[in-house]
Amino acid sequence: MRILVFGGAGYIGSHTALELIRAGEEVVVADSLVTGYRRAVPEGAAFYQGDLHDRAFLDHLFETEKIDAVIHFAAFSLVGESVSNPLKYYDNNLCGTKVLLDAMVAHGIDKIVFSSTAATYGEPEHVPILESDRTCPTNPYGETKLAMEKMFHWTGLAHGLRYVSLRYFNACGADASGNIGEAHNPESHLIPLILQVPNGKRESVSIYGTDYDTPDGTCIRDYIHVTDLAQAHILAVRYLAEGGASDIFNLGNGIGYSVREVIETARKVTRHPIPAVETPRRAGDPARLVASSEKAKRVLGWNPVHDSLEEIISSAWNWHKNHPDGYAEN
């Protein structure tokens, strides 16, 4: 198949593009490079720089490359920024995706895998979270992702589009080669923030809240290796190519680790004391977010293999210690 990875110069997109190439697929990457990096695009992928909103760009891309399916990563994803600047998120995530779907329908491309989020659920009713659970986002980021899912649904009914939406939790880690990894500016994810301490980029890491109803009082999250996420996207594309019906799947390890456990594991991996500073809770942080991925395992045949927290942090550290400034280095 010839697969378009939109947002393929970003963190998860670049890892997915790399795994697709390793799996023998033909890969086309499109990215605006607003938050992505040209150096993250794997060798062997065709690359087009352009914006999701640009219909002429999309028409040219679909006319030049005979695309069989699209994997869509091109969305803004900072929760805090979405609260302070919601219209930016509605414009990019929702309006941009509308233009993409217009172009796909016009060019007869009927398969899309969508990078969604656990933020569609909001505060969970129970743990582990199931795909059938209530969706009530607590921020514009989650709200726009949920609206995108509904856009795919209604477009499918009207135009025959089939989609898979992958709702995942805390993506982390890096490819085993150490050539690509996580590089956000600003950084907001826990593991890269922790690893900035042994890298000399910050003096300590903050623990937001130590009075949650969890064994050690800190928030518990479901961490999933980015390579396992990439494999799930490949399985989803193949599921659609084989005629699978539109569906939604959670992705996670089903194992929750607390903030303290993550910091302690990072200390072990890096052999650095990594000072931690306890600070008050942040508004809107649920105590526990853990996914049930049984449906993805049953229907897609997905089986995460990099599920050890120590392995996840080791792969991240291998990237960060050799690329302390991410892709900004010479």
Note the pLDDT tens digit of each residue in 294-305.
999 999 999 999
Question: What local confidence, expressed as pLDDT, does residue 286 receive?
Answer: 80
Architecture of domain 190-221+254-328: Alpha-Beta Complex (3.90)
Please compute the mean of the pLDDT values over residues 137-165 and round it to a whole number: 96
Given a cut of 90, whether residue 136 has pLDDT beyond it is yes
Q: Average pLDDT of 123-152?
A: 94
| Domain definitions of the chain by residue range | 2-172+223-251, 190-221+254-328
DSSP for 13-41 reads HHHHHHHHHHTT-EEEEEE--SSS-GGGS
Print burial letters for 28-60: b (CB count within 10 Å at least 16), e (below 16).
bbbbbeebbbeebbbeebebbebbbbeeebbee
Q: Give one DSSP letter per residue of 194-254, joined into a string.
A: HHTTTTTS-S-EEEE-S-SSSTTSS-EEEEEEHHHHHHHHHHHHHHHHTTPPPEEEEE--S
Mean predicted confidence (pLDDT) in 222-248: 98
3-state secondary structure of 179: coil
Q: pLDDT per residue over 17-57, tens digit each?
A: 999 999 999 999 999 999 999 999 999 999 999 999 999 99
What integer pLDDT is reported at residue 253 of this predicted model?
A: 87
What is the per-residue pLDDT for 329? 58
Question: 143 or 187, which is more confident?
Answer: 143
Asked if pLDDT for residue 113 goes beyond 60, the answer is yes
Distance between CA atoms of 148 and 159, rounded to whole angstroms? 16
Write out pLDDT tens, residues 175-187.
999 999 999 887 8
Quick: pLDDT tens for 48-80: 999 999 999 999 999 999 999 999 999 888 887
| Catalytic (active-site) positions | 141
Residue 314 CA to residue 268 CA, distance in Å, equals 10
Which option is the CATH number for 2-172+223-251: 3.40.50.720, 3.90.1150.10, 3.40.50.150, 1.10.1040.10?
Answer: 3.40.50.720
Rounded to two decimals, the pTM is 0.96
The mean of the pLDDT values for the chain is 95
| Cis peptide bond prior to 186, omega within 30° of 0 | yes
- Distances in Å between the alpha carbon of 273 and those of 194, 197, 267, 270, 317? 11, 9, 6, 9, 15
